[in-house]
Amino acid sequence: MGDVIGEVLFAEAQIRARVREMAQEITAILPAKDLLLVAVLKGSLFFLVDLCRELPAECEIEFMQVSSYHGGTTSSGDVQIRKDLDVSIEGRDVLIVEDIVDSGATLSRLLAFLGSKGPRSLSVVTLLSKARAKGIDVPAMIVGFEIPDEFVVGYGLDYGERYRGLPYISILREADRLP
Ligand code: IMP
Ligand code: MG
């Protein structure tokens, strides 16, 4: 591991402990048997893998990909679905697995999109949530950590596709931004 990128917000052990707790929160409110995790690529990959290992073995995994950033550090608000699901979610208990909720635009779009496909229930788990997302109307959302309105990287989260592999989550410094 090289130099630390940015100011460490959550260390590896802290993330691991919180993910374990979140799995317990999920199994307390959702039926373990038929649960379908819909992970939003690519940011939620690391979280998905760790979370899934803490959940009952029957859980299934599917992927979607959306884009709203187009490379920078602010959402464009124009949320496009780049990869749809390959399976039907009709009658399923669906849990959207997100890395971070910022403005809430991505999540609102996903909720409307998946909600129209007839799931039995639709819930959300996000590792991180920025304060300004508080106003959005999400029926059931489990949040790992509330964070300030800063741009963060690591543990799956990227800045222009960089820094996803960092085992911790840190606040991106000016010096680490692309020229
Ligand atoms: P929203 O649509 O504004 O809620 O943005 C959600 C998406 O933007 C997330 O799923 C991330 O992919 C990305 N995003 C938002 N904030 C950050 C951040 O601080 N670091 C890295 N990606 C972010
Ligand atoms: Mg994302």
Which pLDDT tens digit goes with each residue over 89-124?
999 999 999 999 988 889 989 999 999 999 999 999
Give the residue with greater pLDDT, 5 vs 40: 40
The pLDDT score that the predictor gives to residue 27 is 94
The pLDDT score that the predictor gives to residue 145 is 96
Question: How far is residue 32's CA from residue 30's CA, in Å, rounded to a whole number?
Answer: 6
In this predicted structure, the answer to whether residue 2 has a pLDDT above a threshold of 60 is: no
Q: Is residue 117 a contact partner of residue 90, using CB atoms and an 8 Å limit? A: yes
Which pLDDT tens digit goes with each residue over 124-169?
999 999 876 666 666 678 999 999 989 999 999 999 999 999 999 9
Backbone angles phi, psi at 176, to 5 degrees: -95, 0
The CB of 113 under 6 Å from ligand 1? The reply is no
Copy the structure tokens of residue 12: 């590896």
The pLDDT score that the predictor gives to residue 4 is 73
In this predicted structure, the answer to whether residue 44 has a pLDDT above a threshold of 70 is: yes
Residues with CB under 5 A from ligand 2 (ion): 40, 43, 99
In this predicted structure, the answer to whether residue 36 has a pLDDT above a threshold of 60 is: yes
The pLDDT score that the predictor gives to residue 94 is 97
Which pLDDT tens digit goes with each residue over 51-61?
999 999 999 99
The CB of 156 under 6 Å from ligand 1? The reply is no
Copy the structure tokens of residue 65: 């990909």
The pLDDT score that the predictor gives to residue 33 is 80
The closest alpha carbon to 102, from 157, 140, 177, belongs to: 157
In this predicted structure, the answer to whether residue 173 has a pLDDT above a threshold of 90 is: no
Copy the structure tokens of residue 148: 């300030």
The pLDDT score that the predictor gives to residue 67 is 84
What spacing in Å lies between the alpha carbon of 41 and ligand 2's midpoint? 6
DSSP 110-145: HHHHHHTT--SEEEEEEEEEEGGGTTS--SSEEEEE
> Does the CA dihedral 142-163-81-91 come out positive or negative?
negative
Give rounded-to-5 percent helix, strand, coil for the chain: 25, 30, 45
The CB of 129 under 6 Å from ligand 1? The reply is no
Q: Which ligand sits closest to the CA of 101?
A: 1
Number of H helices, E strands in the chain: 3, 9
| Active-site residue, from 3, 102, 158, 176 | 102
Strand locations in the chain, DSSP E?
A: 7-10, 35-41, 60-67, 80-83, 93-101, 121-130, 141-147, 152-153, 169-171
Known active-site residue 3: no
The pLDDT score that the predictor gives to residue 170 is 96
